[in-house]
Amino acid sequence: MLRSLERWRTRSRSSDPFETLELQQRLSRLAGELARLDAHCERGFARGHHLRAAMEAYERTLDDACRLAGIPVEDGRGAAHRLLAEARLAERGWSW
């Protein structure tokens, strides 16, 4: 118990709250963009390209957030990777 408390104190002292807030805002913007693109009725090459680019940016930002929160980042991409990262961040109190 004492070791985990000390690790939490060390981690919380070293992380910049403004960096955390910036990552949460970036995740929120990207999640909104993904929802907007998904709801768009048009199907086409440009929309698909934009959707893939936004998803890649979201996943990379999730990886950055996990690193900042002290969560090991697993290799890979896809829905399972995203859900696991989102769940681990939520466990640590992150929201966006």
27 and 62 Cβ atoms separated by less than 8 Å: yes
87/94 Cα distance (integer angstroms): 9
24-60 residue pLDDT tens: 999 999 999 999 998 876 777 888 889 999 999 999 9
23 contact partners, CB below 8 Å, separation of at least 6: 61, 64, 65, 68
Q: What is the pLDDT of residue 91?
A: 94
pLDDT reading at 13 higher than 60: no
Give the model's confidence band at 3: pLDDT under 50 very low, under 70 low, under 90 confident, else very high. low
pLDDT, position 16:
83
Report whether 58 contacts 30 (CB < 8 A).
yes
